[in-house]
Structure 1
Amino acid sequence: MTSTAPSAALVVDGGYELAEGGRWVDGRYVYVDILSGRLFELPDEGDGNGPTCLARLDVPLGAVAPVHGRPGTWIAAVDTGIALLTPDGALEWLDRPEDRTPVPSRMNDGVADPAGRFWAGSMAYDVTPGAGSLYRTDPDGTVVRVLDGLTIANGPAFTADGTTMYLADTAVGTVLRCRVDPVSGDLVGGPETFARLRDGEGSPDGMTVDQEGCLWIALWGAGAVRRYHPDGRLLHTLSVPAPHPTSVCLHPDGNRLFVTTARHGVTNPTANSGSVLGIPVPTRGTAACSWQGRF
């Protein structure tokens, strides 16, 4: 089933180059503009003044997750590695694994899982095939490379029990499904292909799992969002008024879908390119999990 979204509302007209990583955190919508290194928050009810910029870095900021027990501190997929982003905007590095890669690379999307680990992907600046990786940051601060051979690792998304992770390789149009041991964080067996996008269907970007266990995927280049059943059936395709949607976030209470979009890479941007959109939907999401770092 496919439908347009005439009721899509412009939530933030930010003129962002590459808005991404939308998450619901403590009653507010949090997202980044990757290439400008900025982190934003938008309160649920809002005060009419638009989003607040929480941090402005001089390196690309791929995604963040809240840190348990440290209000205002985030674990971040940033520049070439994983760092803690403190309330004063400083970075406390845990590791910079992409400094050790053969081609210039950066971190991309990331998310915390229900067990309190942080997962984040990487990509080469020139999109070298197979140069991207997926990393896991454990509560003790250890950063582990979990998968390699990816090109643009994007949109890690977990089921509520933490035993299933979905991962997009945007450049090759594939969504992988991985079984995860919730105790150790290790993958159980190899990744399996959950969905494969054909030419003309767009490329899978940011993802989220709703309260019914279905997977929502932003389709870069197609101006659309898809919802899949856990058994792989395509349930719904929702058209959005911007060609490059980048991430999806479902309100935990309000039956509303937030979609970030990009101007980067758009030949003919629309008025909504580089914005945040809000669309009524008949399902809900879950709040973002925290990284359970032990200090």
Structure 2
Amino acid sequence: MSEAIVSVFSDHVCQLGEGPSYDPATDTLYWFDIVNGQLLEKPLSGGAVKIQELGQMASAIAIVDDKRQLIATETGLHVRDVATGKMTLHTAIEADNAATRSNDSRVHPCGAFWVGTMGKGEEKAAGSIYWFFKGELRRLYSDITVSNSICFSEDGTVAYYTDTSTGLLMRVGCDPATGLPIGEPKIFVDHRKAKGYIDGSVLDRDGVLWNACWGGSVVEAYGPDGKLIRSVAMPVTQPSCPAFVGRDADRLAVTSAWSGKDEKQRLLDPQAGMTFLLDIPVNGRFEPRVLIA
């Protein structure tokens, strides 16, 4: 098994770096500093980081078309004009609840968007996971403390998610035409006795789930049977979410955070909040486009 090479993609330090998503059309990685309400972008080929102040907490981005993106924020789903950065509310989600914000979210192969929410202070059972498709919104799962690890099989028949506070990564059947869950979720990975917490995940073409282990200083890979098959050491204690990047989606970008650390802990974790590239053979795939109408 070849060794993974980990390098710094961006040394811009995020308090809570999250939600990385790669646009292959422009060779650009987008990600967020959630608590500071910032959207960051940088070409994979290099260059300066562009930062947009969103004015509210935001956590996930999806491509609508060449001119528009959809961003999950603490008030709902906003359409962003790529050229101007202008944000327009499309669908409100918990906009009347100032205690919650968006968190981990991802697009199903059919174009549906699963959007997770959580309490801003990680209040117990304050969040939910929603399904959004062509303008329709439904709550799928409630009483979620920290929504994470939303990802889907390439054929759209399986969905994964977790409430990080439980230590259990769940697997549920999915309707490939609508992205709606079918049947009851079952435990895919029981992480309760392992170091760290299950955070963001992506699923490759081989059915391998790549998870950022918050507090564990690793990115872990699980086979289709839920068995741990690889662990890649990270130079930070709190990696938060991976994304497939590159022309062939054969590399991983991983965000991280210093959130929750005091000054002494930050000195011991000097790269916390930076964004990294993992040169490791992965059979990745690009995110589908989201259907908003």
* Equivalent residue number for residue 272 of structure 2: 273
* Equivalent residue number for residue 289 of structure 1: 288
Shift of 1:122: 0.4
Residue 59 of structure 2 corresponds to residue 62 of structure 1: yes
When you count strand as a share of all residues, which structure comes out higher? Answer: 2
Residue 253 of structure 2 corresponds to residue 258 of structure 1: yes
* Equivalent residue number for residue 117 of structure 1: 112
Distance 1:154 1:119 in 2: 11
Aligned partner (choices 214, 224, 242) of residue 218 of structure 2: 224
Q: Deviations over 1:231-256 (max 9, x none)?
A: 11110111101010001112352632
Distance 1:216 1:263 in 2: 21
Q: Secondary structure at the match of 1:98?
A: coil
* Equivalent residue number for residue 82 of structure 1: 77
Residue 8 of structure 2 corresponds to residue 13 of structure 1: no
Residue pair 1:20, 1:34 contacting (<8 A) in 2 also: yes
TM-score by length of 2: 0.90
Distance 2:89 2:138 in 1: 14
TM-score by length of 1: 0.90
Residue pair 1:66, 1:74 contacting (<8 A) in 2 also: yes
Q: 1:138 to 1:278 in 2, by over 3 A?
A: same
Residue pair 2:212, 2:220 contacting (<8 A) in 1 also: yes
Question: For this pair of structures, how many residues does the alignment match?
Answer: 285
Aligned partner (choices 91, 95, 98) of residue 91 of structure 2: 95
Residue pair 1:174, 1:195 contacting (<8 A) in 2 also: yes
Task: Provide the alpha-carbon RMSD of the alignment.
Answer: 2.0
Q: 1:254 to 1:74 in 2, by over 3 A?
A: closer
Show structure 1 runs of 4+ deviating over 6 A.
Answer: none
Q: Secondary structure at the match of 2:184?
A: coil
Distance 1:126 1:79 in 2: 13
Shift of 1:73: 1.8
What residue identity is the alignment partner of 1:238? V
Residue 28 of structure 2 corresponds to residue 28 of structure 1: yes
Distance 1:94 1:193 in 2: 34
Q: Deviations over 1:44-63 (max 9, x none)?
A: 322xx33223x321100111
Q: Deviations over 1:248-267 (max 9, x none)?
A: 11235263221111011134
* Equivalent residue number for residue 37 of structure 1: 37
Q: Deviations over 1:24-47 (max 9, x none)?
A: 21222221111122222222322x
Shift of 1:221: 0.9
Spell out the pairing of 1:174-185 with structure 2 (5 A cutoff).
174-185=168-179
Q: 1:254 to 1:182 in 2, by over 3 A?
A: closer
Deviates more, 1:188-197 or 1:83-92: 83-92
Shift of 1:169: 1.2
Residue pair 1:109, 1:154 contacting (<8 A) in 2 also: yes
* Equivalent residue number for residue 208 of structure 2: 214
What residue identity is the alignment partner of 1:222? G
Distance 2:37 2:116 in 1: 16
Q: Secondary structure at the match of 2:35?
A: helix
Q: Secondary structure at the match of 1:8?
A: strand
Q: Secondary structure at the match of 2:281?
A: coil
Segments of 5+ residues of structure 2 without an aligned counterpart are none
Distance 2:273 2:39 in 1: 15
Shift of 1:20: 0.8
Distance 2:245 2:156 in 1: 19
Residue pair 2:189, 2:227 contacting (<8 A) in 1 also: no
Shift of 1:186: 2.2
Shift of 1:120: 0.9
